[in-house]
């Protein structure tokens, strides 16, 4: 049995400054009117409460070394980033649409460019996992298997997690596991609305080095048809819905050296609330304090978190004013 080394629970992304699902005024201080302190740093604030984050912005644009160096500087020792690979590696059609490229190709120079941008994180010992998230249209066949093997080989020096969604990968589970296990890649365990060809998963680790789970929410109504992309992730898991994942994570962490669990139901900081609940369920420490607005919106965490010092002082001031005679 592998020793229990690390359990890291966090959210997919930390910055959601706009839209109906913004984190401002819920998890972060609201902007404007002097509410948010000058120089407020969202990443530093987040890192006081969680020891890991999954970076999704890298899917849309590869980060420069200058950007990732600033991420390192703004987070404490021991904090780790799991980073989603650029869409060029996993979503050819999306890459072509976004860049206007006439054809799709990927080669070693693209891998080198990706790793160069991540070098400051790796050099600081803060690189957790590289995430290759494939679309539901990515089916298992010889071409896909060959490409997957190429990708795993090119990133073999780094922990790589692979998210597959089409049922063909679980229908031919032996072939899938062979390709992943040979190069030490973790098969990402996911929760999301089910569709006709959804992958079937047993939630078990396939490698001893690490385990990777992502919870996307269950907003089936808005998953495929929505006005804005953020509506897909407008879903708050109940404690009863989270309980099986807590049990799965508890069992998995006894079999692997590291466990990563990320919440991607980011709308209005619902991922934060569910991450706090999962940390509590697994006996992981809940650090930092939380604003009253967050606790009022998500009362299920009321007994799990500490209120902001400013909220405590304000409540004490109100109580004293009420008690003092006019």
* Residues 239-259: tens digit of each pLDDT: 999 999 999 999 999 999 999
- Three-state DSSP class for residue 86: coil
Cβ 177 vs Cβ 204: under 8 Å: no
CA 98 to CA 107: how far, in whole Å? 19
pLDDT at 102: 82
pLDDT at 310: 55
E strand segments, 30-173 = 52-55, 80-84, 127-133, 160-163
pLDDT at 274: 98
| Homologous superfamily of the 6-287 domain (CATH) | Protein of unknown function UPF0759 (3.20.20.410)
pLDDT along the chain (326 residues), means of 10: 73 96 96 82 97 97 96 97 97 91 89 96 98 96 94 95 96 94 96 93 94 97 93 97 97 96 98 98 96 96 84 39 45
pLDDT at 309: 58
Helix, strand, coil in percent for the chain, rounding step 5: 40, 15, 45
pLDDT at 322: 41
pLDDT at 158: 93
Tell me 231's DSSP state.
G
What's the alpha-carbon Rg for the chain, to the nearest Å?
A: 21
Q: Which of 28, 58, 60, 65 is nearest to 44 (CA)?
A: 28
Long-range contacts of 246-253 (CB under 8 A, 24+ apart): 246/278, 246/281, 246/282, 248/189, 248/203, 248/213, 249/7, 249/211, 249/213, 249/278, 249/282, 250/282, 252/203, 252/204, 252/205, 252/211, 252/213, 253/4, 253/7, 253/211, 253/282
Residue that has been written with the tokens 């913004």 in this structure:
22
Q: How is the chain split into domains, by residue range?
A: 6-287
8 to each of 52, 103, 108, 301, how far by Cα in Å? 6, 39, 31, 19
């Amino acid at each position: 049995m592998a020793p229990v080394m690390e359990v890291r629970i966090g959210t997919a992304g930390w910055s959601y400054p706009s839209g109906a699902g913004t984190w401002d005024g819920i998890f972060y201080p609201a902007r404007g009117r002097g509410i948010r302190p000058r120089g407020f740093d969202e990443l530093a604030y987040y890192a006081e409460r969680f020891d890991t984050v999954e970076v999704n912005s890298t899917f849309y644009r590869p980060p420069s070394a200058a950007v990732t160096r600033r991420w390192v500087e703004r987070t404490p020792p021991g904090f780790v980033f799991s980073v989603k690979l650029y869409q060029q590696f996993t979503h050819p059609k999306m890459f072509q649409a976004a860049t206007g490229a006439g054809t799709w190709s990927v080669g070693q120079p693209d891998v080198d460019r990706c790793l160069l941008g991540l070098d400051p994180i790796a050099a600081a010992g803060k690189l957790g996992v590289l995430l290759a998230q494939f679309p539901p249209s990515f089916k298992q066949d010889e071409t896909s298997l060959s490409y997957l093997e190429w990708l795993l080989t090119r990133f073999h020096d780094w922990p790589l997690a692979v998210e597959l969604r089409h049922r063909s990968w679980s229908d031919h589970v032996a072939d899938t596991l062979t390709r992943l296990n040979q190069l030490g890649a973790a098969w990402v365990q996911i929760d999301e609305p089910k569709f006709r060809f959804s992958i079937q998963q047993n939630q078990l680790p396939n490698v001893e080095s690490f385990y990777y789970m992502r919870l996307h929410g269950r907003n089936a109504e808005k998953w495929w048809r929505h006005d804005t992309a953020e509506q897909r992730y407008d879903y708050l898991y109940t404690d009863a819905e989270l309980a099986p994942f807590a049990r799965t994570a508890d069992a998995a962490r006894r079999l692997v050296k590291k466990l990563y669990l990320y919440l991607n139901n980011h709308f209005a900081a619902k991922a934060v609330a569910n991450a706090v609940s999962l940390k509590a369920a697994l006996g992981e420490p809940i650090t930092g304090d939380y604003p009253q607005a967050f606790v009022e919106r998500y009362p299920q965490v009321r007994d799990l978190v500490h209120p902001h010092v400013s909220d405590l002082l304000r409540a004490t001031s109100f109580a004293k004013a009420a008690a003092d005679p006019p």
